[in-house]
């Protein structure tokens, strides 16, 4: 009886720790994407064009997934939506 209870408690702790690790990973990934967006926004207009992202191996391949309206520009609103869908977290406003 005690062994079963101990195993159940251990399983709960492990799954809780894994969920916490996933949430922390997603938060860090969202923050990295937001910082990358800011660094690529060379003219500081709150958007990243395909040209601004060209050559960046972290942002470039995901550009089309972020550019929701397919106008060749990723806005902060589009980035925010992408982060929410991809990671399930709201990015911190900067």
Does 3.50.50.60 match the CATH number of domain 23-94?
A: no
Q: Where are the beta strands (DSSP E) in 1-94?
A: 47-49, 73-75
pLDDT tens digits, one per residue of 40-51: 998 999 999 999
> How many other CB atoms are found less than 10 A from the CB of residue 38?
14
Query: In terms of pTM, does the model score above 0.85?
Result: no
pLDDT value of position 89:
86
Domain ranges of the chain: 23-94
| List of the chain residues with pLDDT < 50 | none
User: Are the CB atoms for 74 and 83 separated by under 8 Å?
Assistant: no
């Amino acid at each position: 009886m005690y062994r079963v209870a101990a195993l159940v408690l251990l399983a709960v702790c492990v799954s809780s720790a894994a969920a916490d690790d996933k949430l922390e990973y997603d938060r860090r990934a969202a923050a990295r994407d937001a910082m990358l967006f800011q660094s690529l926004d060379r003219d500081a207009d709150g958007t990243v064009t395909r040209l601004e992202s060209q050559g960046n191996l972290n942002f470039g391949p995901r550009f089309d997934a972020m550019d929701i309206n397919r106008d060749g520009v990723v806005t902060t609103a589009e980035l925010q939506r992408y982060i929410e869908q991809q990671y399930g977290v709201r990015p911190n406003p900067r």
